[in-house]
């Protein structure tokens, strides 16, 4: 999820650090308001570890609304069986389960054709603010981003970094598993070939 969010931020001009590991390492600085790209409105979008630490947010929802009023969907389930997951949601909402919408992929991975168009120089942004109303700037930005995107698979997350993050988030995954009463241990299993055998053992909890 962190790697995906980083790619999303790059695509939409909210991230200026292309290397994911470097972006992770910049998080302490960014929490202090440093090394933040110009024009970022919600700085928390750059706090990749914070955004991906689900348990505090889930716990708050369960405490506020009660377990019977909260329906949790794992992306794993959604990806593996969209229709089944969708119908489970309809059942939870107590609405007609017979309606089936278009379940095709509508938001595939993309990259920018010309990167600078997504992250224009700060001076250019200031000039645009001086001569164009906010509504027109927003419309122009959306149009440029739309035509500047092309479908493309991102390279896989570095195997050693994946292992590092799996170890780092092991206690968080365990806590979340207990919160939602669902074994999420598969999130900590090795899912790609690693560069070192020792890393592979760590990924599998050995």
- The tens digit of pLDDT for each residue in 21-48 reads 999 999 999 999 999 987 788 899 999 9
Convert the pLDDT of each residue in 63-85 to its tens digit.
Answer: 999 999 999 999 999 889 999 99
Q: Is residue 75 part of a domain?
A: yes
Q: Flag whether 198 is in a domain.
A: yes
Number of domains present in the structure of the chain: 4
Q: Are residues 36 and 16 part of one domain?
A: yes
- Looking at the domain assignment, is residue 59 inside a domain? no
Q: Do 96 and 145 have their domain in common?
A: no
Query: Which range marks the domain in which residue 177 is found?
Result: 153-206
Burial of 135 (0-12, 13-18, 19+ CB in 10 A): exposed
Measure Cα distances from 32 to 26, 27, 52, 135 in Å.
Answer: 10, 9, 19, 31
Whether the model clears a pTM of 0.75, i.e. scores above it, the answer is no
Asked if residue 196 and residue 178 are part of one domain, the reply reads: yes
Domain membership of residue 58 (yes or no) is no
Q: What is the DSSP letter of 13?
A: T
């Amino acid at each position: 999820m962190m790697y995906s969010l980083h790619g999303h931020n790059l695509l939409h001009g909210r991230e200026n650090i292309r290397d994911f590991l470097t972006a992770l390492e910049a998080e302490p600085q960014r929490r202090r308001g440093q090394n933040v790209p110009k024009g970022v409105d919600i700085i928390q979008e750059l706090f990749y570890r914070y955004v991906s630490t689900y348990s505090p947010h889930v716990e708050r929802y369960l405490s506020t609304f009660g377990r019977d009023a909260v329906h949790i969907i794992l992306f794993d389930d959604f990806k593996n069986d969209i229709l089944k997951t969708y119908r489970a949601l309809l059942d939870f909402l107590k609405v007609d389960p017979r309606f089936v919408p278009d379940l095709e992929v509508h938001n595939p991975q993309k990259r920018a054709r010309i990167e600078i168009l997504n992250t224009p120089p700060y001076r250019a942004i200031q000039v645009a603010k001086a001569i164009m109303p906010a509504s027109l700037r927003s419309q122009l930005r959306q149009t440029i981003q739309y035509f500047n995107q092309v479908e493309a698979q991102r390279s896989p997350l570095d195997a050693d970094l994946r292992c590092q993050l799996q170890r780092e988030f092991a206690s968080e995954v365990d806590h979340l598993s207990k919160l939602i009463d669902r074994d999420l241990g598969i999130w900590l299993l090795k899912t790609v070939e690693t560069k070192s055998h020792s890393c592979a053992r760590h990924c599998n909890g050995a």
